[in-house]
């Protein structure tokens, strides 16, 4: 089970530890929303979200941390209410042994906060922090798993940072649950 590290005063440290959440053998976190949930949240455009990968490459990069910032690379797939899916690689920078944010290498695709919950789930928070940063080139508010920056990049599909699409709590599942094709793929 994945747990957030305690800090002084009994509070949890933000973010997650890569090897706990995504061991070298790999891990999958996902959530699929049923019709009843979507009926209660009619503005939600995300019907499923899958995040998977392994810390194997990150562990190797730490040896070169004087030259590069260690980053956990994961795959993110978002299934949308119109039946389409978007998938791409996201990088999660490791700072002082913890991962707090993930996003695509393309700064125009936004990013999201990630948190390890005490019960072993991951919480993805679509906080739109990237588009509010000074000098931001975020193409749209929210985040995209497949956007690339102009002029040669593609627009991609974005998850809007509104109340219906802000917080996603993902369960840990067998790795095969994330590597299977999603709807519309």
Q: What percent of the chain has pLDDT over 70?
A: 76
148 vs 24, more confident: 24
Q: What is the pTM of this model?
A: 0.82
* DSSP output for the chain: ---PPB-GGGPBPSSB-HHHHS-TT-EEEEEE--HHHHHH-TT--EEEEEEEE-SHHHHHHGGGTTTS--EEEEEEEEEETTS-EEEEEEEEEEETTEE-EEE-SSGGGBEEEEEE-TTS-EEEE---HHHHSTT---SSSSB-SS---TTTS-----B--SGGGSEEEEEEE-THHHHS--TT-
**pLDDT, tens digit, for every residue of 55-113?**
888 877 777 666 556 788 899 999 999 999 999 999 888 777 788 888 876 567 888 88
Mean pLDDT value across residues 108-124? 88
């Amino acid at each position: 089970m994945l747990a957030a590290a305690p800090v002084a005063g009994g509070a949890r440290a933000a973010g997650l530890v890569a090897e706990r959440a995504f061991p070298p053998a790999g891990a999958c976190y996902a959530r699929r929303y049923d019709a009843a949930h979507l009926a209660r949240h009619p503005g939600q455009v995300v019907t499923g979200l899958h995040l998977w990968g392994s810390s194997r490459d990150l562990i190797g990069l730490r040896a070169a941390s004087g030259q590069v910032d260690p980053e956990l690379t994961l795959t993110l797939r978002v299934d949308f209410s119109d039946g389409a899916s978007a998938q791409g690689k996201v990088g999660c920078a490791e700072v002082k042994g913890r991962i707090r944010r993930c996003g695509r290498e393309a700064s125009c695709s936004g990013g999201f906060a990630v948190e390890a919950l005490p019960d072993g789930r991951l919480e993805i928070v679509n906080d739109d922090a990237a588009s509010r940063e000074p000098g931001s080139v975020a193409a749209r508010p929210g985040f995209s798993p497949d956007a690339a920056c102009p002029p040669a990049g593609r627009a991609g599909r974005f998850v809007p940072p509104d109340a219906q699409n802000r917080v996603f709590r993902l369960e840990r599942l067998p790795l095969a649950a994330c590597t299977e094709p999603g709807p519309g793929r």
